[in-house]
Amino acid sequence: DGGITQSPKYLFRKEGQNVTLSCEQNLNHDAMYWYRQDPGQGLRLIYYSQIVNDFQKGDIAEGYSVSREKKESFPLTVTSAQKNPTAFYLCASMPPSGTGELFFGEGSRLTVL
Amino acid sequence: GQSLEQPSEVTAVEGAIVQINCTYQTSGFYGLSWYQQHDGGAPTFLSYNALDGLEETGRFSSFLSRSDSYGYLLLQELQMKDSASYFCASPGWGYQKVTFGIGTKLQVIP
């Protein structure tokens, strides 16, 4: 079945450590996105990529980094520079159909101890 | 830029109808989408309105008025399983940057 796979589902890290969240899709979509979700704040865009080897900052990119070396993969690194990294992270992709529909993975919940 | 506003919480009775509103301010507008998210889960796409009018999909309908910068999601014959958060969202130029509202938490009560 086609879809978006995020891993790990739950992750704990100590302050000062970088952590990388995986996002893989087999939907053959060009566009991919990373969102952060905090209670009561909806979904905020971290980074997005329209094509391999290209990506743009979203609204809250500080303290995060991404890469897009393959169409299927769009990993997100939460660096130690991110001051409040505990959150639910959602990866999504969009087909070129022009409907604006996003397909989401199941999310990764990061907790900083 | 884009901003979308929607109520934070709504409560409705099982079997009733509820309307969740969304107003937006955008530098360019390319349509309004709606998503449902149950606690702890991923958002799932419900509908998309590119043009003015009503789109119906089963018990759910979505409406858009571009002249009023306003849309709504209408849920009919509410069921307990409809208790979830509902987000309006809008894609930016070229359907690149999708911006979400803060979400409306719907509680369906017996």
Q: What pLDDT tens digit does each residue of chain B (110 aa) get?
A: 678 999 999 999 999 999 999 999 977 778 899 999 999 899 999 999 989 999 998 999 999 999 999 999 999 999 999 999 999 999 876 667 888 999 999 999 99
pLDDT of A8: 96
Determine, for residues A100 and B89 on separate chains, whether the beta-carbon distance falls below 8 Å. yes
pLDDT of B35: 96
| Residues of chain A neighbouring B35 (CB-CB closer than 8 A) | 102
- In angstroms, the separation between the Cα of residue B45 and the nearest Cα of chain A is 7
Determine, for residues A104 and B44 on separate chains, whether the beta-carbon distance falls below 8 Å. yes
On the question of pLDDT at A52 being above 90, the answer is: yes
Instruction: Give the CA diameter of chain B.
Output: 43
Characterize the bridge pairing of strands A64-66 and A76-78: antiparallel
Considering only the beta carbons, identify the residue of B30, B50, B95 that sits closest to A94.
Answer: B95
> Which chain A residue has its CA at the smallest distance from B7's CA?
A40
| pLDDT 10s digits, A59-102 | 999 999 999 999 999 999 999 888 899 999 999 999 887 677 89
On the question of pLDDT at A113 being above 90, the answer is: no
Considering only the beta carbons, identify the residue of A31, A45, A101 that sits closest to B48.
Answer: A101
Mean of pLDDT over chain A: 92
pLDDT of B91: 83
| Residues of chain B neighbouring A40 (CB-CB closer than 8 A) | 8, 102
> Which chain B residue has its CA at the smallest distance from A102's CA?
B45
8 A C-beta contact, residue B82 and residue B101: no
Coil, helix or strand at residue A93: strand
pLDDT of B26: 77
On the question of pLDDT at A45 being above 70, the answer is: yes
The letter for the amino acid at B1 is G
Any alpha helices (H) in B27-109, and if so which ranges?
none
Determine, for residues B98 and A105 on separate chains, whether the beta-carbon distance falls below 8 Å. no
Q: What percent of chain A has pLDDT over 90?
A: 78
More confident residue, A106 or A1: A106
Determine, for residues A101 and B33 on separate chains, whether the beta-carbon distance falls below 8 Å. yes
pLDDT of A1: 67
| Chain A interface test: which of B98, B102, B105 (most A C-beta within 10 Å) | B98
pLDDT of B2: 75
Distance CA A113, CA A15 (A): 7
B94 phi/psi in degrees, rounded to 5: 70, 15
Distance CA B80, CA B109 (A): 7
Cα–Cα distances in angstroms (integers) from residue A85 to residues A19, A39, A92, B39, in the given order: 10, 13, 19, 20
pLDDT of A51: 92
pLDDT of B27: 73
On the question of pLDDT at A53 being above 80, the answer is: yes
pLDDT of B83: 97
Considering only the beta carbons, identify the residue of A33, A41, A56 that sits closest to B98.
Answer: A33
